[in-house]
Chain A
Amino acid sequence: MTTLEPRTELAPSETRSEEPTVARMLGATGLGLLLLGTIAIIANQYGPRFVGTSGGYFSAAIGAALLLYHAHRDGDFEFRRSYTFLGYLITAAFVLTGILALTGRESFSGAGSLISPLLALFGLALLNATLQHETDANFRNITLLVWLAIGGLGSLGAVAAGIAQPAFLVGPGVVLALVSLAYLGAFLASSDSSQGVGFHLSVGLGILGGFAFAYALAKAIWPTVLYDGPAAIHDAFQKRDPWKVSARVLLILAFLGVAVWGWRARRAGFIARVGLIAFGLSFAGVFLYACFAKAGSTTPANYFVPSGLLLGLIGLLQLAVALACVSESAFIALTRREITSFFYSPIAYILLGGSALVASLGYANFLTILDRYPGGVPEPILSFNISFEIIAAIAALFIVPAITMRAFSEEKRNATLEVLLTAPVSEFSIVMSKFVACWLMYMLTFAPAGLYLIGLRAESTVGFDYRPLLSYYLAVGLCGIAFVGMGLFFSSLTNNQIVAAVLTFAGMLFLLLTLMIKQYDLGRGLQALVARLDFLALWQQALSGVLPIAQGITYASLGIFWLFLTVKVLEARKWG
C-alpha cells in the first residue's frame, strides 16, 4: 500500500465564499476616484477649481483604499499584473519624489515632502496585495528585490545620515528610516528569513540597529558622565554621598549584568553575544572611569532630545525586526505570529483606518483652534488637540476590546489552544507574547494622531514644542499595560469573543468614568484610589509636559496584576 501515488488535490473543500464581483465594482470605483482626485490636486496648482485640493486628496485617499481592497481580494491574472505594474510605477514615483525631497528641491519641501512617504506606503501595500496571488517566481523575485534594495539602502542611509547630521533625523530622516524599515520588513516577511539571504540580511539589519542604538545611547550619556566626573557622586561638601555611590554601583552592576548575560546566552548567535558583551563592558567601564577622573573641558551639548532619542528608537525598531526574523526563541516566534495574525484579519486595518479618521477630526478641530489665536498659541499647544484627549479616550473604549477579545477566545473556540499548550512552551510566555502583540497594536492605533503633527510641522514655518508628546505616549503606553492586561484576562475566561469584548468594554467604561466617580464622597482611601485611576486626567497632564509618575506606576502595576491573573487562569486547568 505504500506504493500509492500521492494525489494532488483538485479543489479546496471549503468553497470560496464569494466571487470577487463586488470587489471588482469597488475597484473600478476606486480607480475613478483616484484619477479624479489626482487630476483635481494637479489642476488646483494652476488656479482654483470646482473640486478643491483637500477634496482631491480625500477622493484620492478613498480611491486608493478601494483599489487596495480589490487588489487584495482579486487574484485574477489581468488584474494581478495590472496592479503589479501600477505598484512598480508608484514605487518609482516614490523613489523619485523622495530623492527630490531629500535633496531639497523647492516644490518638494514643506507639505510636498509628505507626498513621497504616502506614495511609498501605497506602493508597498499594493505590491504586497498582489504578491500573495503571484504564482510566477520571476515577478515575485523582482518585487522582493525592489523591496530589498529600497529597504536596505534606505535603512543604511538613514542611520549613516543620522549619525553624521543629527538634525537630519528630526523630520525627513525619521520618515526615511520608518519607510525603509517597512520595505525591509515586507521583504523579510515574504521571504524565508531562517536561512540564506534573508537570514544574513536580518543579521545585518540587527547589527545596524544595535549599533545605532548603542551609538545614540553612548553619545547621549558618555560626554555628560565623563564631564561631570567624580563630582556626580559627591555631595555639596565634596564628600562621597553614599546614596549616589550606591546608585552608581548598581548602574555599573547592571551593565556588567548585560555583559554576563551575553556571555551566558549560549543559544544566541555569536554576533549578538559579542555585541551584548561589548555594550555592557564599555558602558560599565565609562561609568567606572568617571568615578575617579573627568574628561572633556566644555559642557557637552544636549543630544538626547530629540536626535539621540530618535536614533535610538530607530535602532531599537531595526533590532526588533531583525530579532523577529532570526531569533530561535519560542517567545519571539509566538509574538511574531500574534502580530502577523492581526494583519491577516481585517481588524488591524479597520482599527488603524478608524483611528486615522477619528484623529483627522480632532486634528481639524485643532487647526481651527490654532487659527483663533492670531498671535500664536501659548505653549504647550498640544494640550489644545482634543484628538489626544477625550477623543483618544473614547476611541480606546472600542479599540482595546477589539484588539484583545480574540486573543484567547478564538484559540479556545478553535481548540488551537490545546495544540499550543501541549507544545513545550510555558503559559507565561504564551500570555506575554499575546500581551506584547496586543500592546504594540494598541500603541500603533495612537500613532495616526501623532503623525498628523508631522503635517503641521511641514505646513507651518514655526516649530512647536513637541516634547510633551514623549510624556504623552509614555502615559498612554503605561495605561495600555492595564487596558490590554484586562482585555486578555476577560478573553481568557470565555470562548466567546463577544462576551470578552463586552466585559472589556465595561471595564474600560468604568476606568473612563472614574473622572466622574472621583468627585463623589467615597471615603478618603477609596476616593484617592479612584482618582489615581482617572486616565484621562493622566493623559491631559502628560500632554502639558508633566508626567505623574505615581499614576503611571499604578496603571502599570494594575496591568501586571491582570497578566498574573491571566497566567493563573491558563494554569488553572491543571489544578484539577
Chain B
Amino acid sequence: MTHAIQVSDLSKFFGTVKAVDRISFNVAPGELVGFLGNNGAGKSTTMRVLTTFMPASSGLASVAGFDVMYESDEVRRRLGYLPESVPLYPEMRVDEYLIYRAKLKGVERSRRTSRLDHVLDRCRIKEVRRRLLGTLSKGYRQRVGLADTLLAEPPVLILDEPLSGLDPVQQEETLASIRDLGGQHTVLFSSHHLPDVEKVCDRVIIINRGTIKFDGRLSDIRAQVPLIVIETRGAFETVDRALRKLPNVVSVMEVPVEPAEPGLVGLELKADTGHDLREAAASALFAAGHAVRRIELRREKLEDIYMRTSVRGE
C-alpha cells in the first residue's frame, strides 16, 4: 500500500533560518491527521512544500505516490489545499469563482453542476452563492475556500488552520465537515485549538521548532500508562511499603500536595498497561490504617502532550 502523504528527512531553510529540520512522517490513505504546533513551528512551511508551492531544501516528499518536486503537476491534480488566510478574488461572485476554479482543476462539464451543488451544500454556502467574495465575512470565506478544495474530489486534502477566525458554532460545523471527509479523503489539517483536534482526529503530529515532537494516536495514549494519583494520611515510607505489595505496580513516587497540609502525603502510582489498581490500592491503604482523601486515575491529555512538547520542548 502506498502512503497518501510521505515525508522523509524533509528540511527547509530560509536563508540561515531553519524552518523545518529533517522531519519524517507518513499518512495512510483515508487517515485524518491533526498537525499541531506553535506559530512559526513549521506547520505552514511543511504544508507549502507538500502543495508544491515551495521546494524543500533537502529530503523527499510525495503526495498520492507522486514526488512534489518532479511530478508537481500530478500532485496538484490530486490535492485540495486551503491556505491559512484563504485568499480570494474580491470582485468575483461565489458561484462564479467556484466554476472558474472547477475549470482550472479540470472538472468536466458533465459533472461540474452537480459537483458545484454538492460543495455548496456540504459547506453550507448555498445562501450566499450570488454574493461578491469581497463582501463575505471570515466564516463564509473559510467555507468558500473549503468548497474550492473539495471541488475536484481530490484524494488528499491539506487544510491550513481551517478553524481560525470562526465563531464557536461555525467551528463545530466545520469540524463536523472535516470529520465527514475522513475515510474518503486523506486529510492533514493544522490547528491551534486542541480540544477540537481531539474531537475529530485520532492521529496527531506535533511539530516544534521544525522538528516532530510527537506522532501518535490519541487512542493509544488513552490506553497506555494508567497513572493513579493518591492523597492519603501517613508517612511516605509506610504508604510506599503498603502499596508495593500490590501486584502489577511499576513505581510509586512522592509528589507534593497542594495546598500542603501536615500529615498528608501525595503519591503517583504507575501500574502495568491495562491494569486499573484504584480499588486494590484503596483497600490496601485502608487495611494498613491510612485514611484516603483522594484516589483517581489520570490520563495524559492532548493538552498535556502539547504543553510538554511545544512549551517545555521535551
Contacts and interface: CB of A to CB of B under 8 A. Distances in A.
Interface of A: 1-2, 4, 6-9, 12-14, 194-195, 328-330, 333-334, 337, 341, 344-345, 414-416, 418-426, 573-576
Given A4-B172, A14-B135, A415-B87, A333 B104 contact: yes
Contact of B176 (A1, A420, A426, A575): A1
A423 B76 contact: yes
B55 A575 contact: yes
Interface string B125-142: 001100100111111100
B253 to A, nearest CB: 40
A1 B173 contact: yes
24 contacts: A4-B176, A6-B127, A6-B173, A9-B128, A12-B136, A194-B112, A328-B103, A328-B108, A333-B100, A341-B91, A345-B91, A414-B87, A416-B89, A418-B48, A418-B83, A419-B148, A420-B104, A422-B53, A422-B76, A422-B81, A424-B105, A574-B55, A574-B72, A576-B55
* A-B pairs with lowest CB-CB distance, top 6: A333-B103, A344-B91, A415-B87, A13-B137, A6-B124, A12-B135
A416 B88 CA distance: 6
Given A12-B136, A341-B91, A422-B81, A195 B109 contact: yes
B89 A341 contact: yes
A130 to B, nearest CB: 16
B73 A424 contact: yes
Given A6-B124, A12-B137, 6 more contacts: A1-B176, A328-B106, A330-B103, A330-B104, A419-B88, A574-B52
A426 B73 contact: yes
B85 interface: yes
A454 B281 CA distance: 102
A424 B77 contact: yes
Contacts of A13: 137-138
B53 A421 contact: yes
A330 B102 CA distance: 9
Contacts, number: 108
A4 B112 CA distance: 28
Contacts of A422: 51-53, 76, 79, 81, 83
B113 interface: yes
A574 B85 CA distance: 22
B117 to A, nearest CB: 12
Nearest to A13: B137
A425 B104 contact: yes
Most chain A beta-carbon neighbours within 10 Å: one of B79, B106, B131: B106
A416 B105 contact: no
A141 to B, nearest CB: 15
A398 to B, nearest CB: 23
B109 to A, nearest CB: 6
A337 B100 contact: yes
Contacts of B169: 4, 7
B311 to A, nearest CB: 29
Contacts of B88: 416, 419
Most chain B beta-carbon neighbours within 10 Å: one of A8, A9, A423: A423
Contacts of B173: 1, 4, 6
B137 A194 contact: no
A519 to B, nearest CB: 47
B109 A194 contact: yes
A9 B140 contact: yes
B22 interface: no
B57 interface: yes
Nearest to A329: B103
Contacts of A573: 53-55
A333 B108 CA distance: 13
A194 to B, nearest CB: 6
Nearest to B99: A194
Contacts of B76: 422-424
A329 B92 CA distance: 19
A2 B136 CA distance: 23
A333 B112 CA distance: 14
A343 to B, nearest CB: 9
A304 B221 CA distance: 81
Contacts of A4: 169, 172-173, 176
Contacts of B103: 328-330, 333
Contacts of A333: 100, 103-104
Interface string B81-124: 10101011101100000011101111011001100000000001
Given A422-B52, A576-B55, A330 B106 contact: yes
B56 interface: yes
Contacts of B99: 194
A252 to B, nearest CB: 35
Contacts of A12: 131, 135-137
B249 interface: no
A575 B54 CA distance: 9
B104 A334 contact: yes
Nearest to B113: A195
A333 B104 CA distance: 7
Contacts of A420: 104
B100 A1 contact: no
A415 B137 contact: no
Interface in B15-73: 48, 51-57, 69, 72-73
Contacts of A2: 176, 180
A191 to B, nearest CB: 12
Contacts of B52: 421-422, 574
A12 B91 CA distance: 15
A415 to B, nearest CB: 4
Contacts of A423: 76, 101, 104-105
Contacts of A421: 52-53
B175 interface: yes
A415 B141 CA distance: 14
B100 A14 contact: no
Nearest to B13: A576
Nearest to A15: B135
Contacts of A329: 103
Interface in B124-175: 124, 127-128, 131, 134-140, 148, 169, 172-173, 175
A363 B214 CA distance: 74
Contacts of B138: 13
Contacts of A415: 83, 85, 87
A301 B11 CA distance: 72
A341 B92 CA distance: 8
B53 A418 contact: yes
A1 B176 CA distance: 7
A195 B112 CA distance: 10
A187 B173 CA distance: 38
A201 to B, nearest CB: 15
B109 A1 contact: no
A13 B134 CA distance: 10
Contacts of A337: 89, 92, 100
Contacts of B148: 419
A418 B88 CA distance: 11
Contacts of B104: 330, 333-334, 420, 423-425
Nearest to A341: B91
A416 B134 contact: no
A6 B173 CA distance: 9
A283 B101 CA distance: 38
A420 B148 CA distance: 12
B87 A576 contact: no
Contacts of A416: 87-89
A1 B87 contact: no
Nearest to B97: A337
Contacts of B135: 12, 14
A1 B175 contact: yes
Contacts of B172: 1, 4
B137 A9 contact: yes
B11 to A, nearest CB: 11
Contacts of B137: 9, 12-14
Nearest to B50: A422
A7 B92 CA distance: 22
